[in-house]
Amino acid sequence: MIYLTNDTFDQAVYFDVIKREPRRREGGIEQRLYGVLGNGVSEVAVTVRSWRDSMEMVFGKGDIFRFVDERAIRRMLGEAVRDLALQ
């Protein structure tokens, strides 16, 4: 579980990695992470695909973005995924 920030009600916002799939492709390794983004009240499914210098994030439906800014979460989650890819 990766702690990202606090929401508007000062609850911790986290990303919990459920499954991690590294895939070999020409020119490198593509990382796919499946997990849950939540704050204890609301959770949404997240799929992150990282390949070379690009990153794609797909969020499921949920109310979490009523409590926290989506752009900030995308930035923080992107940094956390880059750190995970280096491990």
Model pLDDT, residue 40: 86
Tokens (6 digits) for 29: 């390794």
Asked whether the whole model's pTM tops 0.85, one would answer no
Over residues 5-57, the pLDDT tens digits come to 999 989 999 999 999 988 888 878 888 999 999 998 899 999 999 888 889 99
> Structural domain of residue 66, as residue ranges?
2-86
Model pLDDT, residue 76: 94
> What does residue 76 show for φ and ψ, rounded to 5 degrees?
-65, -40
Q: Is the pLDDT of residue 86 over 70?
A: no
Domain count, the chain: 1
Q: Quick one: pLDDT band at residue 77, thresholds 50, 70, 90?
A: very high
Contact yes or no for 21/71 (Cβ under 8 A)? no
